[in-house]
Amino acid sequence: MEKCAKCGTTAEEILQTGFVGCEKCYDLPTVKKAVEKLFNGKIHNQKGDN
């Protein structure tokens, strides 16, 4: 199971609660997919924002 490198929250946890631990959690592929579904495009995609 994927795990956030920054805060240690697992993708499973995030899927169950619907909450991420930090912004890095969105880097997990599973979470990325899930949030797109959960929030239905409410969250802006920040591609290449460094």
Query: Residue 9: what are its φ and ψ, rounded to 5°?
Result: -70, 135
Among 22, 33, 36, 39, the residue binding Zn ion under the rule CB under 5 A is 22
Task: Name 10's bridge partners.
Answer: 3
Instruction: Give the nearest residue (CB) to Zn ion.
Output: 4
In the complex, what is the shortest distance from the CB of residue 24 to Zn ion, in angstroms, rounded to a whole number? Answer: 4
> With CB under 5 A as the contact rule, which of the stretches 11-19, 23-31, 37-45 interacts with Zn ion?
23-31
CB atoms within 10 A of CB 28: 22
The length of the chain, given as a count of residues:
50
Supply the minimum distance, in Å, between the C-beta of residue 2 and Zn ion: 11
